Protein backbone atom coordinates (compact mmCIF):
# COMPACT_ATOMS: atom_id res chain seq x y z
CA UNK A 1 0.00 0.00 0.00
CA UNK A 2 1.24 3.46 -0.84
CA UNK A 3 2.07 5.73 2.09
CA UNK A 4 0.85 9.27 1.63
CA UNK A 5 1.33 12.34 3.82
CA UNK A 6 -1.56 14.50 4.98
CA UNK A 7 -0.41 17.10 2.41
CA UNK A 8 -0.51 14.50 -0.39
CA UNK A 9 -4.03 13.49 0.59
CA UNK A 10 -5.27 17.06 1.09
CA UNK A 11 -3.97 18.32 -2.26
CA UNK A 12 -4.88 15.06 -4.02
CA UNK A 13 -8.46 15.60 -2.90
CA UNK A 14 -8.49 19.15 -4.33
CA UNK A 15 -6.87 18.07 -7.60
CA UNK A 16 -9.23 15.09 -7.92
CA UNK A 17 -12.20 17.45 -7.82
CA UNK A 18 -10.69 19.69 -10.51
CA UNK A 19 -9.74 16.76 -12.76
CA UNK A 20 -13.16 15.15 -12.35
CA UNK A 21 -14.77 18.46 -13.33
CA UNK A 22 -12.43 18.77 -16.33
CA UNK A 23 -13.27 15.23 -17.49
CA UNK A 24 -17.01 15.87 -17.17
CA UNK A 25 -17.21 19.35 -18.67
CA UNK A 26 -14.33 19.48 -21.18
CA UNK A 27 -13.94 16.03 -22.71
CA UNK A 28 -10.36 15.35 -23.81
CA UNK A 29 -8.89 18.56 -22.39
CA UNK A 30 -5.88 18.58 -20.08
CA UNK A 31 -4.52 20.96 -17.46
CA UNK A 32 -0.88 21.78 -16.77
CA UNK A 33 0.54 21.12 -13.34
CA UNK A 34 1.13 24.83 -12.78
CA UNK A 35 -2.48 25.68 -13.67
CA UNK A 36 -3.77 23.00 -11.30
CA UNK A 37 -1.67 24.42 -8.45
CA UNK A 38 -2.64 28.03 -9.32
CA UNK A 39 -6.34 27.14 -9.29
CA UNK A 40 -6.04 25.55 -5.86
CA UNK A 41 -4.24 28.65 -4.56
CA UNK A 42 -6.90 30.96 -6.03
CA UNK A 43 -9.84 28.94 -4.68
CA UNK A 44 -8.33 28.26 -1.25
CA UNK A 45 -6.60 31.53 -0.23
CA UNK A 46 -6.79 30.67 3.48
CA UNK A 47 -5.50 27.12 3.11
CA UNK A 48 -1.77 27.05 3.99
CA UNK A 49 -1.28 23.66 2.32
CA UNK A 50 -2.76 24.87 -0.98
CA UNK A 51 -0.86 28.15 -0.72
CA UNK A 52 2.48 26.36 -0.27
CA UNK A 53 1.90 23.87 -3.12
CA UNK A 54 4.33 24.01 -6.05
CA UNK A 55 4.09 22.28 -9.44
CA UNK A 56 7.38 20.40 -9.00
CA UNK A 57 5.99 18.51 -5.97
CA UNK A 58 2.71 17.53 -7.62
CA UNK A 59 3.78 13.91 -8.27
CA UNK A 60 2.65 12.29 -5.02
CA UNK A 61 -0.52 14.36 -5.00
CA UNK A 62 -1.47 13.02 -8.43
CA UNK A 63 -0.29 9.56 -7.39
CA UNK A 64 -3.12 9.47 -4.83
CA UNK A 65 -5.55 9.76 -7.73
CA UNK A 66 -3.71 7.21 -9.87
CA UNK A 67 -3.54 4.68 -7.01
CA UNK A 68 -7.25 5.12 -6.31
CA UNK A 69 -8.15 4.67 -9.99
CA UNK A 70 -5.96 1.56 -10.32
CA UNK A 71 -7.36 0.03 -7.10
CA UNK A 72 -10.93 0.44 -8.37
CA UNK A 73 -10.30 -0.48 -12.01
CA UNK A 74 -11.06 3.05 -13.22
CA UNK A 75 -9.45 5.05 -16.00
CA UNK A 76 -6.49 7.08 -14.72
CA UNK A 77 -8.04 10.49 -14.05
CA UNK A 78 -4.58 11.87 -13.22
CA UNK A 79 -3.62 11.54 -16.90
CA UNK A 80 -5.41 14.86 -17.50
CA UNK A 81 -2.70 16.68 -15.52
CA UNK A 82 0.24 17.40 -17.81
CA UNK A 83 3.73 18.84 -17.61
CA UNK A 84 4.88 22.20 -18.97
CA UNK A 85 5.20 20.89 -22.51
CA UNK A 86 1.61 19.65 -22.51
CA UNK A 87 2.26 15.92 -22.25
CA UNK A 88 2.21 13.31 -19.51
CA UNK A 89 5.12 13.04 -17.07
CA UNK A 90 8.17 10.97 -18.01
CA UNK A 91 7.03 7.98 -15.96
CA UNK A 92 3.70 7.64 -17.76
CA UNK A 93 3.58 4.19 -19.36
CA UNK A 94 0.03 3.77 -20.75
CA UNK A 95 -1.43 4.82 -24.09
CA UNK A 96 -2.12 8.42 -23.12
CA UNK A 97 -4.68 9.22 -25.85
CA UNK A 98 -6.62 6.04 -25.10
CA UNK A 99 -6.58 6.76 -21.37
CA UNK A 100 -7.84 10.33 -21.91
CA UNK A 101 -10.70 8.87 -23.98
CA UNK A 102 -11.59 6.38 -21.24
CA UNK A 103 -11.50 9.16 -18.63
CA UNK A 104 -13.88 11.28 -20.73
CA UNK A 105 -16.33 8.39 -21.16
CA UNK A 106 -16.48 7.36 -17.50
CA UNK A 107 -19.25 8.67 -15.22
CA UNK A 108 -17.13 9.91 -12.32
CA UNK A 109 -20.15 10.40 -10.06
CA UNK A 110 -20.16 6.62 -9.67
CA UNK A 111 -16.81 6.76 -7.85
CA UNK A 112 -17.64 9.49 -5.32
CA UNK A 113 -18.37 7.21 -2.36
CA UNK A 114 -15.27 5.09 -2.95
CA UNK A 115 -13.11 8.22 -3.32
CA UNK A 116 -14.43 9.66 -0.05
CA UNK A 117 -13.76 6.37 1.75
CA UNK A 118 -10.23 6.17 0.31
CA UNK A 119 -9.41 9.74 1.34
CA UNK A 120 -10.67 9.01 4.84
CA UNK A 121 -8.52 5.86 5.02
CA UNK A 122 -5.40 7.71 3.83
CA UNK A 123 -5.97 10.56 6.28
CA UNK A 124 -6.25 8.13 9.18
CA UNK A 125 -3.10 6.30 8.06
CA UNK A 126 -1.16 9.57 7.77
CA UNK A 127 -2.00 10.76 11.28
CA UNK A 128 0.56 10.14 13.99
CA UNK A 129 -0.51 7.58 16.59
CA UNK A 130 -2.21 9.05 19.64
CA UNK A 131 0.06 9.61 22.63
CA UNK A 132 0.22 6.74 25.06
CA UNK A 133 -1.26 7.49 28.46
CA UNK A 134 0.12 5.31 31.24
CA UNK A 135 -2.37 3.51 33.48
CA UNK A 136 -2.10 2.23 37.01
CA UNK A 137 -2.28 -1.53 37.50
CA UNK A 138 -5.85 -1.09 38.75
CA UNK A 139 -6.88 0.97 35.70
CA UNK A 140 -5.21 -1.55 33.38
CA UNK A 141 -7.18 -4.33 35.09
CA UNK A 142 -10.48 -2.49 34.50
CA UNK A 143 -9.62 -1.78 30.85
CA UNK A 144 -8.61 -5.44 30.41
CA UNK A 145 -11.91 -6.67 31.87
CA UNK A 146 -14.06 -4.20 29.94
CA UNK A 147 -12.35 -5.00 26.65
CA UNK A 148 -12.43 -8.76 27.27
CA UNK A 149 -16.14 -8.69 28.14
CA UNK A 150 -17.02 -6.48 25.16
CA UNK A 151 -15.20 -8.91 22.87
CA UNK A 152 -16.98 -11.93 24.39
CA UNK A 153 -20.38 -10.20 24.08
CA UNK A 154 -19.79 -9.25 20.46
CA UNK A 155 -21.15 -12.56 19.21
CA UNK A 156 -17.96 -13.09 17.22
CA UNK A 157 -15.13 -12.91 19.78
CA UNK A 158 -11.59 -12.40 18.56
CA UNK A 159 -9.80 -13.54 21.70
CA UNK A 160 -9.67 -17.03 23.23
CA UNK A 161 -12.16 -17.65 26.03
CA UNK A 162 -9.26 -18.61 28.32
CA UNK A 163 -5.89 -16.96 28.68
CA UNK A 164 -2.91 -18.31 30.62
CA UNK A 165 -1.36 -16.10 33.32
CA UNK A 166 1.75 -15.30 31.28
CA UNK A 167 -0.37 -14.01 28.38
CA UNK A 168 -2.66 -12.09 30.72
CA UNK A 169 0.36 -10.44 32.40
CA UNK A 170 1.75 -9.48 29.00
CA UNK A 171 -1.55 -7.81 28.02
CA UNK A 172 -1.84 -6.04 31.40
CA UNK A 173 1.73 -4.71 31.15
CA UNK A 174 0.99 -3.32 27.67
CA UNK A 175 -2.17 -1.67 29.00
CA UNK A 176 -0.20 -0.13 31.89
CA UNK A 177 2.35 1.27 29.38
CA UNK A 178 -0.55 3.01 27.63
CA UNK A 179 -1.25 0.77 24.66
CA UNK A 180 -4.78 0.85 23.27
CA UNK A 181 -6.72 -2.29 24.22
CA UNK A 182 -6.75 -3.65 20.65
CA UNK A 183 -2.95 -3.29 20.50
CA UNK A 184 -2.38 -4.73 23.97
CA UNK A 185 -4.53 -7.77 23.17
CA UNK A 186 -2.69 -8.56 19.90
CA UNK A 187 -0.53 -11.30 21.52
CA UNK A 188 -3.71 -13.06 22.67
CA UNK A 189 -5.12 -12.79 19.18
CA UNK A 190 -1.92 -14.20 17.67
CA UNK A 191 -1.88 -17.05 20.22
CA UNK A 192 -5.35 -18.06 19.07
CA UNK A 193 -4.28 -18.56 15.43
The band of 192, judged by pLDDT with boundaries at 50, 70 and 90, is: low
How much is the pLDDT for 74? Answer: 97
Mean pLDDT across the chain: 91
How much is the pLDDT for 157? Answer: 82
Residue pLDDT, tens place only, 31-62: 999 999 999 999 999 999 999 999 999 999 99
| Range list of H helices, the chain | 6-25, 33-43, 48-51, 59-71, 96-105, 112-126, 137-153, 165-177, 181-184, 186-192
Query: How many CB atoms are closer than 10 A to CB 73?
Result: 6
pLDDT > 70: what percent of the chain? 98
The most confident of 92-96, 110-114, 181-185, by mean pLDDT: 110-114
> 150 near 112, Cβ under 8 Å?
no
> 8 near 61, Cβ under 8 Å?
yes
How much is the pLDDT for 182? Answer: 83
80: nearest Cα among 13, 141, 6, 26: 26
> 108 near 24, Cβ under 8 Å?
yes
> 94 near 79, Cβ under 8 Å?
yes
Residue pLDDT, tens place only, 114-169: 999 999 999 988 988 778 889 999 999 999 999 989 888 887 788 888 888 999 99
Residue 32: phi and psi, rounded to 5, are: -75, 150
- Maximal C-alpha separation, the chain: 67
Checking if the pLDDT of 193 tops 60, the result is no
Query: How many CB atoms are closer than 10 A to CB 24?
Result: 14
Amino acid sequence: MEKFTLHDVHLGEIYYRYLRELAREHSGKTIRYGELVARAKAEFPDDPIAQNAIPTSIGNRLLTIEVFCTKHGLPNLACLAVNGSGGPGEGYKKNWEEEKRRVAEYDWSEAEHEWAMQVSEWRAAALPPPPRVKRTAEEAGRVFTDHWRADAASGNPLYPNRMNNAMKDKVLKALEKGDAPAVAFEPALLART
